[in-house]
Amino acid sequence: MTSIKGLKRPPLGFSRLPSSTDHPKLAEHRRSSDVPISKPLSHQSLDANGEFQVDNDSKAVRYSDLLLEIAMTTAFASLTEGTHIFEAWNVASYLSFFALVWWIWASQVAYNVRFRRADWMHRLFVFLQFFVFCGLAAFTRDFDITDGIKDDSQKENQADTLERQSFQDDQVAIPLMKAQKYRDNLLPKLNFRGISIVMALSRLLLLIQYSVAYYYALRVKDTPHVTNSGTKNRWHPRYPAFIVHMLSLLFSVICFFVSYAVIGDNPKGDNQVAKLVLWYFPLFVEVAAHFVAISGRYKGWVGYSSELISERSATVFVIILGGGLDNITNGFQRIVGNISFGWRSLGVIFCGVLIFLLLFALHFNTPKAESSKRMRVLGAFFFQFFYLSAVIVNLEAIAAMLQAGTIGDGLDIPLQFLRETASIMELKGFGRFLNESDYSSPTVSKQLEKQGLELGVMLSSINFWIDNATNQNPPDFNLPYNSLLWYDEVIIEVVLQNLDSYPDDDLLVAKMDAFYYSSPLNYTSVNNETFDDIIRSVIIENATPALWFYGSGGALLLTLGVLCLISQRPRDKFEWGQILSRILFGSFIIILSSLDLHSSRNNILTDDFHYGDSKIWYLATHSLVLPPYAVALLIEHIIELILLKVARRFYPRQPTASTSSAESETSPLVGPTRNVDGNFANFINDVDFEKRDADVEA
């Protein structure tokens, strides 16, 4: 374009020609945007050890790895939202699903760090794997691996009976219960069949990727084809290591499609057990295939980059930690919204934040491994499943403990109202009405007002039943206390709804409905025993994670120490100290779980409705489970910092180039003297280190 003198240049450089000199970053972006449809693996042949030399191209497309990790985290985060982890079988069910999600990610990473290219074909596979994770997330609602295996018929029948009592009309209750039961039975079948087909598709996608990689490997020229002298006429596949991966994936595809067919529309208990075998046995086969392929027995194996695997693992750890922090902060919101918010609540929040920070610091305070042995790299990568499982369960347990402490404080309101009102009834005698002035302290009235309830309104309702009891012939001496229990259960439901902690257990909800919709005159449904059972069940449902909380925390440290041992043999005594301290402290925290050895439902509450003396239940209901764990992690971190401080003395800083040049520019008389002294000092240090090493070996 010819420029005209006097005219201004067009805005925003529309007429400016591209220039790599003026804009080098833009030029580099333009060059890298030329993405081919498919790229070959290598232009080299096997080395002397039988390793297939692949041109590493994984660093060029790291953003796709991040997309894959976000999709993976979203899949099991949706499980966390749809499934409450309280009982031990909830933990087992959660980890069984996490194993499927983690293996899809881990097996894809194991492929990417070796064979993934910067081309459109692999971008397409990332896009399809993203849909796989989204498909898994769609089948996590009320996921329970024990559905069809564990017999819950007695519990379900009891819940149905209580629900019919609460409706008090079978013509209304039975159709509603049948519809709900049909949905409850349908959802697990949809989940299991959906997961089976999604897992089969994920294995099929990876099988196609390995097949394409094998195709490009066969096109490499001058590849040695080794045959034994005794089997000259026998056919041998080129690069059998590829074949090992492909056969294991083909086996997995078949197993998952078979599990889809086995589950069917009306699966039986035996079919559900077969489902477990068809789901998880292929995963063990795939894991074994990775070790067999790099064992060196078969030609064509490709090593794993420890640097790339460490980057991917660190990213997943941070994303998982972020998801756990989200649940923990939700627990903080419940604490702030609790009426008993005070200095103790601030202490609980501080402990939760401190635990989170210490877990982050302990993970990244681990020295990087220098060993490049392929078996150690692969073994440490696969062992991270157990470590990440412990991290996830521990974070969920922390959030559950925050909720349990909040509910424990909230339930103290109806229990205090029950104790004081029952005491006033006993002092005033039968037939006397209750007044607000009977309460010596305004605490009860203020606490009820914060929950949206008025003491005067509740007392007038109780007085109605007191009048009813005195007018009966003969007088009903138990009715006033029974009406007190009924209204106290109403307070419990209001408190749980205000704390966004209404029970999810069908049996407990049925018990509460049967109690609420019954009249105080119904002594079968409304009595001291049924009320006591409800209040204990509410506490147990929310505080049960305390029974395995310390176990998950100890397992986290224990697996982290073992992971360091697998990654590389400790290089000095300080690294040994760090690993052993983690293992020992992890074991010590697990021993804290012995606090629940003698725990029982009978020890949660006393006869006068105070919290009992059981250690673990007391800690859970008073928000005291987290402080001991925080102290243990803090002590472990201090020990590691001390070891690091002492170890630093044995590794002096190396002089920089500027320091060396500055020393060499000194006077001619001083310069040679310093060089001689430095050489002599180095010689003395070498002698000292050799002597120390000899003493250690002795």
Q: Is residue 638 part of a domain?
A: no
Q: Give the Cα separation of 359 and 633 in Å (integer).
A: 8
- pLDDT tens-digit profile of 353-406? 999 999 999 988 887 776 667 788 888 889 999 999 999 888 888 888 888 888
CB 494 within 8 A of CB 453: yes
| The residue type at 434 | L
The dihedral formed by the CA atoms of 231, 236, 238 and 239, expressed in degrees to the nearest 10: -90
Instruction: Tell me the residue range of the domain where 520 lies.
Output: 406-542
Q: Give the Cα separation of 224 and 239 in Å (integer).
A: 10
Run of H or E residues at 139 = none
- Strand ranges inside 576-697, DSSP E: none
User: What pLDDT is attached to residue 673?
Assistant: 38
| CA atoms in the 13 A half-sphere facing the CB of 444 | 21
User: What pLDDT is attached to residue 257?
Assistant: 92
User: What pLDDT is attached to residue 675?
Assistant: 42
Run of H or E residues at 201 = helix 170-218
Q: Is residue 418 part of a domain?
A: yes
CB 417 within 8 A of CB 444: yes
Helix (H, G, I), strand (E, B) or coil at 301: strand
Residue 369 φ then ψ, to 5°:
-75, 145
Beta bridge partners of 605: 611
Angle at 301 between CA 296 and CA 305, to 5 degrees: 105
Q: Is residue 523 part of a domain?
A: yes
Alpha helix positions (H), 294-373: 306-337, 343-364
Beta bridge partners of 46: 52
| The residue type at 458 | M
- pLDDT tens-digit profile of 589-637? 888 776 665 566 666 777 777 776 667 777 777 778 889 899 999 999 9
Q: Is residue 688 part of a domain?
A: no
- pTM for the whole structure: 0.80
Measured over the CA atoms of residue 288, residue 289, residue 291 and residue 297, the dihedral's sign is positive
Which residues touch 30 (CB under 8 Å, ≥6 apart)? 18
Q: What is the DSSP letter of 613?
A: S
CB 136 within 8 A of CB 198: yes
Q: Give the Cα separation of 676 and 544 in Å (integer).
A: 70
CB 511 within 8 A of CB 162: yes
Q: Is residue 516 part of a domain?
A: yes
- Looking at the structure of the chain, the number of domains it has is 1
Q: Give the Cα separation of 673 and 303 in Å (integer).
A: 50
Ranges in the chain, pLDDT < 50: 1-4, 7-8, 10, 223-235, 658-698
Helix (H, G, I), strand (E, B) or coil at 342: coil
Distances (CA, A) of 23 to 1, 12, 515: 21, 15, 76
Q: Is residue 157 part of a domain?
A: no
Q: Shortest CA distance to 126 belongs to which of 70, 166, 88, 174?
A: 70
Q: Shortest CA distance to 562 belongs to which of 382, 372, 397?
A: 382
Q: Is residue 665 part of a domain?
A: no
* Number of Cβ atoms within 10 Å of the Cβ of 674: 12
Measured over the CA atoms of residue 619, residue 623, residue 628 and residue 633, the dihedral's sign is positive
Q: Is residue 14 part of a domain?
A: no
- Strand ranges inside 137-236, DSSP E: none
Q: Shortest CA distance to 51 belongs to which of 239, 305, 291?
A: 239
